[in-house]
Structure 1
Amino acid sequence: MSARAFLVRGLLAGLLAGVATFLVAYAVGEPQVGAAIALETISSEDSGGDGHSHSHATEGGSEETAEVSRTNQSTWGLLTGALAVGVALGGIIGLVAAATMGRLGRLTPSQSTALVTLIGFVAVALVPFLKYPATPPAVGSGDTIGLRTSVYFGYLLVSVLAAVLATYGAVRLRERVGTYAAVVGGTAAYLVVVVVTGQLFVTVNEIGDFPADTLWSFRLASLITLATMWGVLGVALTGLVGRLYAAERAVAERKALAATL
């Protein structure tokens, strides 16, 4: 089983995950984005300014429409973004799964692929989201976008590095203390690092008087969308790798049998 085989299947799984993510994001996420934009527009009108309006008046008094309409953003733009992220993420996970094959104890290729995807979801998506959850368009000051971006990616880097080191440590400890103790130890080490680091990293709170129910719905939809991307990717890639492994194993068994005749 070559790295190329993993990469091709990762790209295919990522494509499927992108399509599924688009459907979920359009059905679950876009209504929450629309509600946030509507609140932003109302707030802007009440304050007497144009805020983040999607059209701007020209000198002649006519309106210049936005280059990308809201309809295109929520359809073709969303689909393009979901497919691009899905394919890129699938390729990365495929290569990581290929690199770790045979290095995670006695796990089969499909089992190690599933484990890599699960660790990736926790370290890349879930834990950073819990520290710095997604915010709707109407929340957050433009003056702090640089800070918010920096601390998010900084915490993401810490989470990924901690997950890699914890996994490596668990694999090394497995032969000494057993699988159960190694998994518990690795998990505990990861949690200690991300929890302590999360306390040290700056807390961003720019919600203001934004409605709590709308914010909760938006963040829940965002988390569901993330889970869809990683879940479909993991299931599809694990299945594809499992089929490839079974096929190659069957060929090897037939060759071994033929050699004994």
Structure 2
Amino acid sequence: MPLTGTGTAPTFVTVLLRGLLAGLVAGLLAGTFAYVVGEPHVEAAIAIEEAATHAEPAADGHQHAEAVADGHQHGEEALVGRNGQRGGLFLATGLFGAAMGGLLASAYVLLARRRRTADDGRSGLLLAGGALLGAVIVPFVKYPPNPPAVGDPSTINQRTFTYLLMVVLGLVAVWSGSLGYRSVGEHAPVWLRASAAVGGFLLVTVVSYVVLPSFQEVPGDFPATLLWSFRLASLGTQMVLWTGIGLLFAALMHRQRAVAGARLAG
């Protein structure tokens, strides 16, 4: 479908603006979910972290006192308070959502000639679903997010790099599954095409899980219920984001197509 602005085909700018709008709204919805569902778990984890800081061994008391005198102790005031962080949550999710919506719109345009359906809504939903699977769910299984008080600061750079690498490999896995589905042939049984897609996806995913390192840094006394409640809330936030982007983008593109078609008919 050429995006030249003629007929009912939208221009790139039109598609991009709809992607940005869909992402912004979905990001605000995800921020609301994170605030309502995730913030209580963050507060609980921070309370555990502060309790652990105040319970430092007495042997370190002299050093701790010096740190207090210099204003560098663990309990030092943060540059941004918790109220500011809560407000910034919506700004962060809104901007992130807009960025992801822009990327989704760009992918929609770049893959226009390779799509096998003229249904804009279905195409948008498939792209959002692929992004959710590859960029969120696949990395989540290998590297689930941790709340405050969990994680070794000395490994943060390595953990960040491997997580980003896992995101890339997750998207490659989705692409591999798509290639497997297409490689079988249009006239092959549905079950065979689906099996090829799953096989291609699992091949990249399993190899990635085996090759990349694991990090076991959760303290033994950290509440397991709190840990998994935080992780599920984080996953839920991403699911709200990408589901919202897919549905809103599909609706906006469908409306644009309908309006353009009505103009031509008139």
| Fold-level similarity (TM above 0.5) | yes
Residue in 1 aligned with 2:202?
A: 191
What is aligned with 1:21?
30
**Partner letter of residue 123 of structure 1?**
G
Superposition CA RMSD, Å = 2.4
Deviation digits for residues 182-224 of structure 1, max 9, x if unmatched?
3431232112210222122111110022110110111111111
Structure 1 residue 71 corresponds to structure 2 residue 80: no
Cross-structure match for 1:5: 14
Is residue 176–residue 204 contact of structure 2 (8 Å, CA) maintained in 1?
Answer: no
Rounded to whole Å, the distance in 1 between the matches of 2:18 and 2:194 is 28
1:128 matches 2:139: yes
**Which deviates the most, 163-172 or 16-25?**
163-172
Equivalence for 1:258: none
Q: 1:173-252 to 2 correspondence within 5 Å?
A: 173-177=184-188, 180-209=191-220, 210-252=222-264
Return the letter of the residue paired with 1:25.
Answer: A
Paired with 2:40 and 2:55, the residues of 1 have a C-alpha distance of 23
Task: Give aligned-pair identity as a percent.
Answer: 32
Given residue 125 of structure 1, which amino acid in structure 2 is its aligned partner? Answer: V
In structure 2, do the counterparts of structure 1 residues 183 and 112 end up closer, same or farther at CA, with 3 Å as the change threshold? farther
1:36 aligns with 2:20: no
Task: Give the one of 164, 167, 186 matched to 1:153.
Answer: 164
The amino acid of 2:178's aligned partner reads T
Q: Which residue of 2 aligns with 1:118?
A: 129
Q: What amino acid is the match of 2:13?
A: R
Deviation at 1:14, TM superposition (A): 0.7
148-157 or 117-126, larger mean C-alpha shift? 148-157
Q: Which ranges in structure 2 are unaligned for 5 or more consecutive residues?
A: 1-9, 62-66
SS of residue in 1 equivalent to 2:114: coil
Letter in 1 for 2:111: T
Letter paired with 1:160? L
Paired with 2:118 and 2:150, the residues of 1 have a C-alpha distance of: 45
**1:25-84: CA deviations, max 9, x gaps?**
11011111110000011111112479xxxxx845499x963221111112x211111111
After superposing the two structures, state which structure 1 stretch, 191-200 or 178-187, moved more: 178-187
Q: Call closer, same or farther: CA 1:250–1:134 in 2, change over 3 Å.
A: same
Q: In the alignment, what sits opposite 2:150?
A: 139
Task: Tell me the distance in 1 between the aligned counterparts of 2:251 and 2:69.
Answer: 55
**Residue 22 of structure 2 aligns to which amino acid in structure 1?**
A
Aligned twin of 2:107: 96
What is the deviation of 1:6? 1.2
Asked if the contact 1:21/1:225 (under 8 Å) is kept, the reply is: yes
1:167 corresponds to 2:182: no
1:179 Cα deviation from its structure 2 partner: 5.2
One-letter code aligned to 2:133: V
Aligned residue for 2:4? none
Matched residues in 1 for 2:71 and 2:194: separation?
68
Distance across 1 between alignment mates of 2:205 and 2:234: 21
CA contact (8 A) 1:13 1:236 kept: yes
